[in-house]
Amino acid sequence: MSLEYYLVLSALLFTIGVIGVLIRRNAIIIFMCIELMLNAANLAFVAISRSLGEATGQVFVFFVMTVAAAEVAIGLAIIVSVFKHRQTVNVDEVNSLKG
């Protein structure tokens, strides 16, 4: 399998993530779509790492995963806090800072 197929798949997954962020209003699903995009990037990293024959790409996947884990912990805590105050996870309803 050549590199292009993996990169195309990665691009498609990333796009689905982007579309998800655009069309869904549920904060948790938006968050999942962000995870999807990070994963698409990881796929590209690993594919390129394989075709270059060196491990650097996989090391970066490791970093991406660490950041993703931290981000999920914080993000979900924020969502829980917001839900406790406003009883909603709809991102359009959380707009009291809007001018």
Partner 1 sequence: MNAEQILFILFGAVSLIGAIAVISFRHPIYSALSLIVTFFAQAGLFVLLGAHFVAAVQVIVYAGAIMVLFLFVIMLLNLGTLSVQGAIGRKLKGLAIILGILFAAEGIYIAVNALNDTAVASAESGAAAVTITTYDIGELLFSKYLLPFEVTSLILLAALIGVIVLVKREGQEEN
Closer residue to partner 1 in complex, CB, 84/98: 84
Written as one letter, the residue type at 9 is L
Q: Which residue has the tokens 């970066």?
A: 60
Nearer to partner 1, 7 or 99 (CB): 7
> CA dist 26 to 11, 46, 82, 90, Å?
24, 31, 12, 5
Residue 99 tokens read as 């001018």
Tokens, residue 10: 């990665």
Task: Scan residues 30-89 and list those touching partner 1 (CB under 8 A).
Answer: 31-33, 35-36, 39, 42-43, 46-56, 58-59, 61-63, 65-74, 76-81, 83-84, 87-89
Nearer to partner 1, 27 or 99 (CB): 27
| Contact status: 25 vs partner 1 (CB under 8 A) | yes
